[in-house]
């Protein structure tokens, strides 16, 4: 699945948590400017966005930038916790770029929501990846089901002599206290 982010009209800002001076779409915008304007900050569902690999930035009904998502960062705004995407801009020769750049929004709908998730046929070859535990199996998620626990247990054995208590003690010493749940 891909995420489509539809930009609103261009406006200058002085309060952006990403330190941008403007947001929104303007004619003659470069692909880099469109990606920067569209990458955040949004109310994104982490359960969904963590599985997304590609982002389409849409301005005035046309795809203005196509990127590969490399990370999702969280930012506290005056409207609560929002997310921003870190991306690598795609260019000529990539199937999603070649198909969608400067073309009508493939995920257009009548919703006022700027965010839309959807499947694009050109993503098919990119849907599978190696399991992050290192087992060599492929998956459409970060891990083959159950392998996230396998990866954690392997690290506990390798770095903490198999002691879960040693791991938790180290983790508690390294990380700042978690924010209270809202």
How confident is the model over 49-90, as pLDDT tens digits? Answer: 888 889 999 999 999 999 999 999 999 888 889 999 999 999
Q: How far apart are CA 91 and CA 93, in angstroms?
A: 6
Asked if 1 and 117 touch (Cβ cutoff 8 Å), the reply is yes
Do the Cβ atoms of 43 and 83 come closer than 8 Å? yes
Q: Quick check: 70 and 86 in contact, CB under 8 A?
A: yes
Instruction: Give yes or no for residue 182 having a pLDDT over 70.
Output: no
Can you tell me the mean pLDDT for 23-36? 94
Question: 123-158 pLDDT, tens per residue?
Answer: 878 877 889 899 999 887 788 999 999 999 999 999
Q: What is the mean pLDDT of residues 109-128?
A: 88
Per DSSP, the residues of 140-180 read SSSSSTTHHHHHHHHHHHHHHTT-HHHHHHHHHHHSPPPPP
Q: What is the model's pLDDT at position 181?
A: 61
Give the pair of three-digit tokens for residue 166: 């040693």
- Can you list the positions of beta strands (E) in the chain? 2-6, 11-12, 22-23, 40-42, 54-59, 62-77, 80-89, 115-118, 129-130, 138-139
pTM: 0.74
5 to 62, 93, 108, 159: CA distances (angstroms): 11, 22, 10, 41
pLDDT at 102: 97
CA pair distance 58, 108, nearest whole angstrom: 10
Q: Determine the Cα–Cα distance for residues 79 and 70; give it in Å rounded to an integer.
A: 25
């Amino acid at each position: 699945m891909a995420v489509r982010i539809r930009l609103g009209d261009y406006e200058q800002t002085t309060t952006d948590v990403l330190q941008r001076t403007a947001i929104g779409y303007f004619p003659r915008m470069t692909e880099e400017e469109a990606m920067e304007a569209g990458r955040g900050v949004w109310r994104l569902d982490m359960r969904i966005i963590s599985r997304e690999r590609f982002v389409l930035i849409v301005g005035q009904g046309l795809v203005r930038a196509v990127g590969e998502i490399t990370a999702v960062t969280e930012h506290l705004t005056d409207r609560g916790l929002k997310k921003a995407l870190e991306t690598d801009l795609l260019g000529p020769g990539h199937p999603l770029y070649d198909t969608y750049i400067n073309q009508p929004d493939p995920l257009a709908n009548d919703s006022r929501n700027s965010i839309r998730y959807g499947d694009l046929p050109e993503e098919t070859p990119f849907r599978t990846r190696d399991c992050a535990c290192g087992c060599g199996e492929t998956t459409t998620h970060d891990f083959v089901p159950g392998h996230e626990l396998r990866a954690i247990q392997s690290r506990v054995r390798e770095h903490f002599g198999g002691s879960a208590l040693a791991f938790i003690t180290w983790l508690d010493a390294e990380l700042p206290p978690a924010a209270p749940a809202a």
